[in-house]
Structure 1
């Protein structure tokens, strides 16, 4: 039985409606899928950027922390240097005072004469030559002449050697020196200084560690005593 035009139109309309519905559902499915994928990608990108931002600020925080440590270390070192300089300045003042007080040694002639004899005998032992030229202050020339025999005798007793001396009357030690003697070989190749200033310098260099400990206490950073 043949379909009428009306029946054909109904079937076509029904098919079109079904196709439209299928298409709409497919569109909705595609849109839902696209929305889901978009949200997933957006979440991934947001998380990625969040991680980058967190890493950036962590680096910045570490840099700030490192800069603070360096600054604190520099400030601590600067403070230590200031303390050390103040201590060394204090020791220098004490040594300068000691130099000023050397002048009092020569005021007591008997005491200074005994000291001069010891310095001269020691100088003989240090230079240990058979012939020496002796220099002293012009003010001490008469004292040196007086103590030479006993100083030579002391040297001979200690070493078993004799020494021939000559007092240099043309080249005295500077008058600003406190006292003592200098000796040299005739050719000038060997020279030994045993002035009071030189002795003070030598003694102070040996005593500075002990002096520091006496004035400022033991260094907590020093593991072993010298």
Structure 2
């Protein structure tokens, strides 16, 4: 019977060995599956994080581009405003200078008459009409009436010399009393003849 005990013991040991091998195989299988699941989950998390980082990067890149566009537009607008201010300053300076020159011309009766003749002739050359009614400031009526023959003669001479046209013009002052407005009050450049 001792043999049977030995056989039984050997058989038990063989069964234990088999069970341990089965358990070891199962453990390896579970470990392999867990490692595979871990790697899959890890790849999924890594991909999600990459996507999140890309989205954040794209969002920041767009925000930066928008800010650059705003900055560029702001700089362009500031440059335009500076240019407009500079242009306005130049226009104001030219206006002030022309006011001074006009005041100087208006204070000299002969130069003022010459200016009025030239202005009337310039208008006549644009109109090219046979009869023109002139409107002037009420205070300049006598001066304008006195220069109408000179303006008509200069107009005819320019047309003859420049274009070979023999044309005359009949000039008269508006008889309906419609005058141009006087200069703004406080303007000392007004002739007082």
Q: CA deviation at 1:143?
A: 1.9
Partner of 2:104: 104
Kindly provide the CA deviation profile for residues 6-46 of structure 1, in whole angstroms up to 9, marking residues without a partner as x. Answer: 46634542442233123222222212312321332233123
Q: 1:140 to 1:12 in 2, by over 3 A?
A: same
> Greater helix percent: which structure?
2
Q: CA deviation at 1:59?
A: 1.4
1:101-140 matched pairs, under 5 angstroms: 101=100, 102-140=102-140
1:69-218 matched pairs, under 5 angstroms: 69-101=68-100, 102-157=102-157, 158=159, 159-169=165-175, 170-176=177-183
Partner of 1:24: 23
Partner of 1:222: none
Q: Give the greater-gyration-radius structure (CA).
A: 2
SS in 1 for 2:119: helix
> Greater strand percent: which structure?
1
Kindly provide the CA deviation profile for residues 156-214 of structure 1, in whole angstroms up to 9, marking residues without a partner as x. Answer: 232311222221141122222878xxxxxxxxxxxxxxxxxxxxxxxxxxxxxxxxxxx
Partner of 1:213: none
Partner of 1:205: none
Partner of 2:48: 49
Q: 1:124 to 1:14 in 2, by over 3 A?
A: closer
Distance of 1:17 and 1:98 partners within structure 2: 118
Kindly provide the CA deviation profile for residues 43-74 of structure 1, in whole angstroms up to 9, marking residues without a partner as x. Answer: 31232133123313321331332133123213
Higher relative contact order (CA 8 A, sep 6+): 2
